[in-house]
């Protein structure tokens, strides 16, 4: 199967998995905000956020395993894969033990972390955080088994597992809420699914991938460890930078402006829906490029980067524009008037900031796939420092709104440094003309935002109809026309028309 077909199949599987998972995620927050008080909902999102920090202690090994499994598999080196996976499992088991200690430390410090939280919630929050956090630590060593499927570019099992886990956990949470379950009951449900999903990852590897990628335990190979350390060492810096960019936002709001924590979380959750789709579609680039890197020239990889950037930018615009224009009505339909009224501005700022940051996302993926992430680390560090410092400074003057503004400013810093520094440093591996990257990769797809700028003077931010119906219809049609005529080129028009004709012919044959 061709690499382009593998990327498309991986993107389609990821997108299907994410869309079905999102359906589950869409239904849970309305239940939470209606069955929990505002303070309890704020506490719940903080529990989940703190527990998610455990996953940072995989130290970039999941990405590294996926990349090197793809490379070893491409040349038929099964022994190399065995040593690599076995070494990563040994390393990540040690990280899981550290994660358990971090969870216990966070549990002890809950009153100091969130001093504005009602004191009556402290005991429930502590127990809930302990249960969810330790279950996440337990699941951590099982993650390389799923990374094996990524490296093999086999997305069937991960898709099925993720969908089943997300759907069943969502149904369980909603059932508990209907029966007046509290924070501890919700936490026990999440912990159960964390453990069950981890064990299922192991059994999935054993059934579907064991013959291709084996492992031994305990096992430690110095050469594999060096390879993993060199590759994932810089990724750890990227992960820590990502923590400062978005992972700490909710905790900062919870510490300085607890009353707005739940509202900020709703805006962040809606933004994450957009990001999940973009990362799901673009994610298969890493194993695909890793497996074909040796056979491609820097110019060919650069061409792929420009094309992926155009697709990614177009996708960002088409997903982000409805969230920007219809923030209040969409949130109102989702979580009700009060949350929509107080969350819509957070959503708009976060969507705008993440659109700016994600313009360089395809390029970053190619950098990681080619193992040159150390050359693009400056942008990540600068964004992290600017975002964190501004967020802490502004939240004390503007509340949660200041954190969202810090995210937006940090995104511009990151994008600027990628252009000014990173792309010049990586041009020996990823070669393209900057002018072509800007015009073809960015400006062409960004043309579809012009209709949104035209209706901005008529935009009513806190009404169910953000503009008059004729204007909205014209906005939709004009955006679609520009997307087709400018955002896509003639070759893509022909490819889409060919697919549509083929599908039409198949449907006629069936009928």
Measured CA to CA, the distance from residue 165 to residue 150 in angstroms comes to 18
57 and 130 co-located in one domain: yes
Shared domain check, 404 and 283: yes
Burial 182-192 (b: 16+ CB within 10 A, else e): ebeebbbbbbe
Structure tokens at 257: 């402006």
The answer, yes or no, to whether residue 293 has pLDDT greater than 60, is no
pLDDT tier at 497, thresholds 50, 70, 90: confident
pLDDT of residue 511: 57
Number of domains into which the chain is organized: 2
Domain closes at, from 217, 239, 258: 217
Radius of gyration over alpha carbons of the chain, in Å?
23
Rounded to whole angstroms, the Cα distance separating 356 from 379 reads 13
CB 133 within 8 Å of CB 103: yes
pLDDT bracket for residue 300 (50, 70, 90): confident
Look up residue 492 and give its two tokens.
Answer: 């893509």
CA distances 31 to 173, 272, 281, Å, are 9, 18, 29
The residue out of 217, 245, 280 marking a domain boundary is: 217
Residue 83 lies in a domain: yes
Residue 307 lies in a domain: yes
Would you say 276 and 11 are in contact if contact means Cβ atoms under 8 Å apart?
Answer: no
In this structure, the answer to whether residues 272 and 403 fall within a common structural domain is: yes
pLDDT of residue 285: 57
Q: Which residue reads 């990681």 in tokens?
A: 368
Looking at the chain, the whole-number percentage of residues with pLDDT higher than 90 is 41
Mean of pLDDT values over 189-197: 95
More confident residue, 277 or 178: 178
Residues 473 and 395 in one domain: yes
If one compares 112 and 372, the residue with the highest pLDDT of the two is: 112
d(CA 29, CA 97): 32
- Helix 361-369 to helix 61-75 angle (10° resolution) is 60
Q: Is-contact 380 238, C-beta < 8 A?
A: yes
Q: How confident is the model at residue 161 (pLDDT cuts 50, 70, 90)?
A: confident
Residue 417 is predicted with a pLDDT of: 93
Q: Are residues 441 and 295 in the same domain?
A: yes
Instruction: Check residue 196 and give its pLDDT.
Output: 95
Interval 366-391 mean pLDDT: 85
Q: Which of 85, 101, 125 is nearest to 212 (CA)?
A: 85
3-state class percentages of the chain: helix first, strand second, coil last, to nearest 5: 85, 0, 15
Buried b (16+ CB within 10 A) or exposed e, 200-219: bbeebbeeebeebbbbeeee
Q: Are residues 314 and 425 in the same domain?
A: yes
In a domain, 45, yes or no: yes
Under the banding of pLDDT at 50, 70 and 90, the label for residue 1 is very low
Q: What is the DSSP string of 361-425?
A: HHHHHHHHHTT-GGGGHHHHHHHHHHHHHHHHHHHHHHTHHHHHHHHHHHHHHHHHHIIIIIHHH
Which helix (H) or strand (E) covers residue 296, if one does?
Answer: none
> What confidence category does residue 398 fall into, taking pLDDT thresholds of 50, 70 and 90?
very high
Cα of first residue to Cα of last residue in the chain, in angstroms, is 31
Q: For residue 18, what pLDDT is reported?
A: 66
Instruction: Give the per-residue pLDDT at 434.
Output: 92
State how far the Cα of 413 lies from the Cα of 379, in Å rounded to an integer: 7
Say if residue 234 is in the same domain as residue 196.
no
Q: Does residue 223 belong to any structural domain of this protein?
A: no
- Cis peptide bond prior to 411, omega within 30° of 0: no
Residue 221: pLDDT over 60: yes
In a domain, 222, yes or no: no
* Dihedral sign, Cα of residue 469, residue 474, residue 477, residue 478: negative
Distance in angstroms (rounded) separating the CA atoms of residues 492 and 6: 18
Tens of pLDDT, residue by residue over 399-452, are 999 999 999 999 999 999 999 999 999 988 888 899 999 999 999 999 999 998
134 and 256 part of one domain: no
User: Where residue 2 falls among pLDDT bands split at 50, 70, 90?
Assistant: very low
Angle between helices 222-242 and 78-108 (to 10 degrees): 40
Residue 259 forms part of a structural domain: yes
- The domain in which residue 333 lies consists of 229-511
265 and 152, same structural domain?
A: no
User: Is pLDDT at 59 greater than 80 in this prediction?
Assistant: no
Distance CA 139, CA 193 (A): 10
339 and 479 in a single domain? The answer is yes
Considering the domain boundaries, does residue 290 fall inside one?
yes
Asked if residue 290 and residue 167 are part of one domain, the reply reads no
- CB 334, CB 326: distance < 8 Å: no
The string of pLDDT tens digits covering residues 5-46 is: 544 554 555 556 666 666 667 888 888 999 999 999 999 999
Average pLDDT value for the chain: 85
User: For residue 171, is pLDDT > 50?
Assistant: yes
55 and 6 in one domain? yes
Predicted local confidence at residue 485, as pLDDT: 87
């Amino acid at each position: 199967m061709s690499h382009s077909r593998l990327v498309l199949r991986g993107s389609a599987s990821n997108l299907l998995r994410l869309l079905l998972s999102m359906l589950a995620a869409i239904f849970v927050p309305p239940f939470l905000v209606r069955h929990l008080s505002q303070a309890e909902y704020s506490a719940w999102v903080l529990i989940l956020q703190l527990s998610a920090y455990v996953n940072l202690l995989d130290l970039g090994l999941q990405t590294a395993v996926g990349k090197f499994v793809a490379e070893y598999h491409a040349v038929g080196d099964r022994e190399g894969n065995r040593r690599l996976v076995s070494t990563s499992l040994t390393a990540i088991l040690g990280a899981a033990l550290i994660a358990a200690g971090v969870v216990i430390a966070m549990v002890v410090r809950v009153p100091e972390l969130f001093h504005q939280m009602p004191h009556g919630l402290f005991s429930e929050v502590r127990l809930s955080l302990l249960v969810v956090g330790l279950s996440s630590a337990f699941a951590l060593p099982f993650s390389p088994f799923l990374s094996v499927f990524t490296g093999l570019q086999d997305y069937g099992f991960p898709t099925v597992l993720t969908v089943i886990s997300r759907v069943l956990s969502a149904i369980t949470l909603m059932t508990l809420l209907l029966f007046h379950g509290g924070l501890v009951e919700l936490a026990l449900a999440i912990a159960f699914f964390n453990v069950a999903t981890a064990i299922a990852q192991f059994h999935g590897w054993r059934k579907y991938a064991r013959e291709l990628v084996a492992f031994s335990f305990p096992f430690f190979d110095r050469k594999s460890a060096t390879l993993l350390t060199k590759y994932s060492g810089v990724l750890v810096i990227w992960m820590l930078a990502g923590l400062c960019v978005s992972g700490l936002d909710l905790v900062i709001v919870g510490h300085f402006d607890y009353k707005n924590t739940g509202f900020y979380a709703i805006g962040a959750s809606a933004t994450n829906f957009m990001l999940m789709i973009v990362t799901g579609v673009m994610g298969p680039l890493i194993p695909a490029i890793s497996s074909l890197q040796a056979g491609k020239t820097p110019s060919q990889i650069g061409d792929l980067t420009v094309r992926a950037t155009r697709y990614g930018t177009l996708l960002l615009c088409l997903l982000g524009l409805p969230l920007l224009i219809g923030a209040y009505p969409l949130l109102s339909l989702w979580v009700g008037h009060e949350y929509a009224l107080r969350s819509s501005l957070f959503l708009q700022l976060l969507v705008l900031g993440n659109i700016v940051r994600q313009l360089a996302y395809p390029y970053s993926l190619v950098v990681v796939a080619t193992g040159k992430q150390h050359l693009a680390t400056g942008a990540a560090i600068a964004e992290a420092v600017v975002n964190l410092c501004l967020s802490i400074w502004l939240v004390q003057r503007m509340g949660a709104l200041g954190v969202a503004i810090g995210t937006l400013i940090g995104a511009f810093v990151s994008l600027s440094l990628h252009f000014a520094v990173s792309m010049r440093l990586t041009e020996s591996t990823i070669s393209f003309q900057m002018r072509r990257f800007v015009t073809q990769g960015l400006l062409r797809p960004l043309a579809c935002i012009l209709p949104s700028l035209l209706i901005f003077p008529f935009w009513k931010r806190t009404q169910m109809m953000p503009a008059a119906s004729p204007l909205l219809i014209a906005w939709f049609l004009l955006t679609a026309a520009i997307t087709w005529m400018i955002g896509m080129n003639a070759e893509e028009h022909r490819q889409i028309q060919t697919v549509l004709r083929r599908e039409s012919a198949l449907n006629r044959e069936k009928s």
